[in-house]
């Protein structure tokens, strides 16, 4: 992998199913330089945190449904 490919454009939002589209490869001895760069807080605030909030809300609703089912039996 060439580091310059990652650094040539700013991060962008993509469909989350892209995570499952990875091909195994050999393990590199050296980490790419992007690993050592500072995280973009805008991405964290505008993409990651809203996603985590959404997942939390969905899970809380699911737990409430299960609790109501258990209480009714």
User: pLDDT value at position 71?
Assistant: 92
Is residue 8 scored above 80 in pLDDT? no
Radius of gyration of the chain (CA): 19
- What is the torsion angle, in degrees rounded to the nearest 10, for the CA atoms of residue 53, residue 57, residue 62 and residue 64? 130
- Domain spans of the chain? 39-73
pLDDT one-digit tens code per residue, 14-65: 776 766 666 677 777 888 777 787 777 787 788 888 999 999 988 998 889 9
């Amino acid at each position: 992998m060439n580091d310059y490919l990652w650094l040539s454009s700013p991060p962008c939002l993509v469909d989350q199913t892209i995570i499952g589209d990875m091909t195994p490869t050999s393990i590199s001895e050296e980490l790419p330089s992007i690993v050592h760069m500072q995280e973009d807080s805008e991405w964290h605030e505008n993409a990651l945190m809203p996603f985590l909030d959404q997942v939390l809300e969905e899970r809380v609703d699911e737990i409430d449904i299960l609790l109501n089912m258990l209480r009714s039996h």
